[in-house]
Chain A
Amino acid sequence: MTDTAAAPEAITTGPAADEFDGADLESWGLGTNNATGISNNKLGMWLFLGSDCLLFGGLISTYLLLRHRGEGIGPADVFDIPFTSVSSFVLLMSSVSMVFAVSSISRGDHQKLRLWLLVTSMLGGTFIAGQVYEFTSFYREGLGYTTNLFSSAFYSLTGFHGVHVTVGIVMLMSLFVMSLTGRLSEERAETVEIVGLYWHFVDVVWVLIFTIVYLIP
């Protein structure tokens, strides 16, 4: 019992708990794994992205299996490739603006960071608006979620991707607000980089969806 009671004192070498503000992770030994020299937070995001490959892999495979199973309306009847191409280009450009946001914070340029975060969010928002328009027009043409197997697989795949983009926009706007309120210092540049990783992943998944679902119907 004596050993157990003494353990917390032996382990806790950082500042007292009431002094912890969440920003100084290094002094708590939480930011970096000393054995590997890499950031735990970044590794966590990469692990999440690796597992997300399985989610989207499952959705894309399901779509490939079911796309020609349904009766009635099919991909060729509803897809508007020029419109989706513009949406894809917008999302691709949002990846470019995101790398500039990461680049800006690493240089300590907070004004440009906020600009690029806003640009990325707006491009992401434009993509989502395009997706909502696309879904609405498909629905008006008679392609509901349960119309046939193709429609269920299509809406599930692109809908899940849309949710990912929306979550990304929320994260970008959170970073924007944090920067405005002075809670995003240069020491926390990695936070922007980690959100950037998520955003680029969402983009890279759309690269696959655009080719597999839209261009090779």
Chain B
Amino acid sequence: MSTATVDTHTTDHDDHDHPSDALYWKVGGMLGILTLLEVGTYFITDDPYSHELAPLLIGGLLALMVIKFITIISFFMHLKFDSRIFRFVFVAGLVLAVGVYLAILSTFAYFDSGYEAGLQLLR
């Protein structure tokens, strides 16, 4: 196979335009504001589970966490602008991790009574 043949099959370059510095400042500012919003919930209550607005507070905190996560990997890590292969590699690891550990957590939740009984025996 000649080099020329290989080059014609090049399909997915990672030569890309990175965001401007102005956009980085905006994204950084937005992330700062989102963090302030997150911390603000602590001043409403330090125990979101027992608050009457628990679903709103916990759902809001999780939503803010996901927005910050996606913003950082998209803009700061350039996943939005880079090759799709990088996106696939990272998202594959992420999905695998979330899937595996959700399954494990579900399993533990299901067998929770057995775990407690085991602890009682140990005591």
> Residues of A at under 8 Å CB distance from B?
34-39, 42-43, 46-47, 49-54, 56-58, 60-61, 64-65, 69, 76, 81-82, 85, 88-89, 92-93, 95-96, 98-100, 102-103, 106, 193, 196-197, 200-201, 203-204, 207-208, 210-212, 215-217
Residues of chain B lying within 8 A (CB to CB) of residue A69: 119
Across the interface, do B97 and A54 meet the contact criterion of CB distance under 8 Å? Answer: yes
- Cβ of A50 and Cβ of B65 under 8 Å apart? no
Distance (whole angstroms) from the CB of B50 to the closest CB of chain A = 11
Among A37, A52, A196, A208, chain B packs the most CB atoms within 10 A around the CB of: A37
Extra pairs beyond A37-B14, A51-B93, A217-B46 (11, CB < 8 Å) = A36-B11, A50-B93, A58-B101, A64-B105, A85-B35, A92-B28, A96-B28, A99-B24, A204-B68, A215-B38, A217-B47
Give the chain A neighbours of B62 by CB distance below 8 A: 211, 216
User: Across the interface, which residues of B come within 8 angstroms of A208, CB to CB?
Assistant: 65, 69
Residue from the list A35, A43, A54, A92 in contact with B100, Cβ < 8 A: A54
Complex: chain B residue closest to A65, CB-CB: B108
Contact of B47 with A103 in the complex, beta carbons under 8 Å: no
5 nearest CB pairs, A to B: A50-B93, A57-B97, A96-B28, A61-B101, A37-B13
Q: Is the interface of A mostly helix, strand, loop or mixed?
A: helix
Smallest CB separation, A72 vs chain B (Å) = 14
- Do B38 and A211 have beta carbons less than 8 Å apart? yes
Q: Which of A38, A50, A65, A210 contacts B13 (CB 8 A)?
A: A38
Interface pair A211/B39, CB less than 8 Å apart: no
Contact A200-B76, Cβ < 8 Å, known A43-B89, A65-B105, A81-B46: yes
Max count, chain A CB within 10 A of own CB: residue among B42, B96, B97, B108: B97
B12 touches A36 (CB 8 A): yes
Min Cβ gap A79→B in Å is 8
Q: Mark B39-60, 1 if CB is under 8 A from A, else 0.
A: 1011000111100000000100
Answer whether A216 and B48 are a contact pair too, CB < 8 Å, given A34-B7, A38-B85, A99-B76.
yes
- B21 adjacent to A215 (CB under 8 Å): no
Q: Is the CB of A92 within 8 A of B35?
A: yes
Query: Shortest beta-carbon distance, B36 to chain A, in Å?
Result: 8
Q: What is the bound-complex CA distance between A60 and B25, given in angstroms?
A: 30
CB closest residue in chain B, given A39: B14
Contact sample, A vs B, 10 pairs, CB 8 Å cutoff:
A34-B7, A37-B11, A43-B89, A50-B94, A53-B97, A65-B105, A65-B108, A197-B77, A204-B77, A207-B72
Which B residues touch A96, using CB under 8 A? 24-25, 27-28, 31, 76
Q: How far is the CA of A197 from the CA of B75 in the complex (A)?
A: 11
Least distance between B76 CB and chain A CB atoms (Å): 5
- Which residues of chain B have C-beta atoms less than 8 A from A89's C-beta? 32, 35
- Contact of A46 with B12 in the complex, beta carbons under 8 Å: no
Query: What is the CA–CA distance of A138 and B77 in the complex, to the nearest angstrom?
Result: 34
Query: B85: which A residues are within 8 A, CB to CB?
Result: 36, 38, 43
Contact: B101 with A36, CB < 8 Å?
Answer: no
